[in-house]
Amino acid sequence: MPFSLEGFAFFTEAIFLGVYLYGWDRIPPGAHLFAGILVAISGAVSGIFVVIANAWMNSPTGFELVNGQITNIDPVAAIFNPASFQQALHMTLAAYAATGFAVAGIHALLLLRDPLNSFHRKALGIALLVGAPAALLQPLSGDLSAKNIAEYQPAKLAAMEALFETQTRAPLLLGGLPDPESRTVRYGIEIPGGLSFLAHGSFDAEVKGLDQFPREEWPNVPVVHLAFQVMVGLGSLMALVALWAVFKAVRRHELAMSRRFLMAVAACTPLGFIAIEAGWIVTEVGRQPWIIHGVMKTADAVTPMPGLAYTFAGFTALYIFLGVVVSWLLYSQIIRSPRQQAWHRTYLPPVVEATLAREQR
């Protein structure tokens, strides 16, 4: 059902995106704004439904398995599974943070070349209004997800933290290279009791290690642990830059006149998308060997259909082509846009005027 509902949301988004793009200066301003709002809402809802389907794979509910047969199917219970809220919240915030900082980073890079460009200053501010709050809220949603994983997927949590032995006051591991064969971690920094507190709200709580699960049901510990470290590390860097942006906004500093700040924002351009990819590695590889946790293993779900390599190659080529088209459109809209050129240096805020006068003196 979530995938069916996602189809409705996707087509709503596509329809009103067409109205928004091709209706510019052709429909009343109110209708144009309304179309943009619907694009934003339906786009978010579309992503949420997709994530809910994945959340069901991590914590399947809404059915009973009796003698190998699925009975008592409840689609609504399947949608509102134990992981749906946490995963949807975490992914939605990640999408806004990644997109906001990617857009802000592009305009920050261009402002480093031309700090007087009013178009890029306005665009930087709008993008940070989207990306900064999402980046600051992301650690809180990550905490909710970690507690959910500790309850419903303890093997995944153990792989994320490379916790090989069940223990109380389990440490939070920063960095490190896990070795599943020797069940040790090299070069890691441990924070005593940190994992127990994050997973169960108490420094003395017991956290299940991988020793509680059969060896054949362990995820790929090095891959999951390193991907988790990348996700958390990059997310933390973005949150720090977001705090910097909030500090400068509260102090009423002109963002475009701080080269250090612009360089930091520009450096964040790809970080959100890398963190998202790392997070999906944690989610999917961390669930292995299950495709539906505790119900069906990935090996039992492999399709016997032949010729999938050709389909895969075709879709890969299609997405490469679409990526080139999107890159060209972004370049034409941001760099070469006549509308952007018309806004160039049309208005300088008083802070910028004062800064320029001070530099001239």
For 137, other C-beta atoms within 10 Å of its C-beta total 17
Measured between alpha carbons, how far is 108 from 38 in angstroms, rounded to an integer? Answer: 28
* CA proximity to 347, closest of 134, 55, 71, 122: 122
CA–CA distances in Å: residue 250 to residues 1, 80, 253, 257? 45, 39, 8, 15
* Residue 257: count of CB within 10 angstroms of its CB: 20
Distance from chain centroid for Cα 143: 14
159 in Cβ contact with 219 (< 8 Å): yes
DSSP state of 208: -
The string of pLDDT tens digits covering residues 218-256 is 999 999 999 999 999 999 999 999 999 999 888 887 777
**Whole-angstrom distance, CA of residue 12 vs CA of residue 65:** 36
pLDDT tens track for 135-167: 999 999 999 999 999 999 999 999 999 999 999
Q: How far is CA 63 from CA 50, 253, 326, in A?
A: 20, 56, 42
Q: What is the pLDDT of residue 337?
A: 56
Which residues does 62 contact at the CB level (< 8 Å), separation at least 6?
A: 56, 73, 74, 75, 76, 77, 78, 79, 81
Tell me what pLDDT residue 244 has.
Answer: 94
Q: Are 50 and 3 in contact (CB under 8 A)?
A: yes
For residues 202 and 169, give the distance between their C-alpha atoms in angstroms, rounded to a whole number: 8
Q: Is 250 helix (H, G, I), strand (E, B) or coil?
A: helix
252: nearest Cα among 130, 355, 118: 355
pLDDT tens-place string over residues 200-209: 888 988 999 9
Do residues 62 and 30 touch, judged by C-beta distance below 8 A? no
Predicted confidence at residue 114, as pLDDT, reads 84
pLDDT at 348: 52
pTM > 0.75: yes
Cβ pair 49, 9 in contact under 8 A: yes
Q: How many CB atoms lie within 10 A of CB 123?
A: 21
> What does the alpha-carbon distance between residue 348 and residue 137 come to, in Å, rounded to a whole number?
32
Q: What is the model's pLDDT at position 339?
A: 52
Q: Are strands 206-207 and 167-168 parallel, antiparallel or unpaired?
A: antiparallel
Q: What is d(CA 2, CA 49) in angstroms, rounded to the nearest whole number?
A: 5
Q: What is the model's pLDDT at position 256? A: 77
The pair of structure tokens assigned to 35 is 């179309």
Which ranges of the chain have pLDDT less than 50?
345
**Phi/psi zone of residue 163: left (φ > 0), alpha (ψ -120 to 50 degrees), beta?**
beta
Burial 153-192 (b: 16+ CB within 10 A, else e): bbbbbbbbbbbbeeeebbbbbeebebebeeeebeebeeee
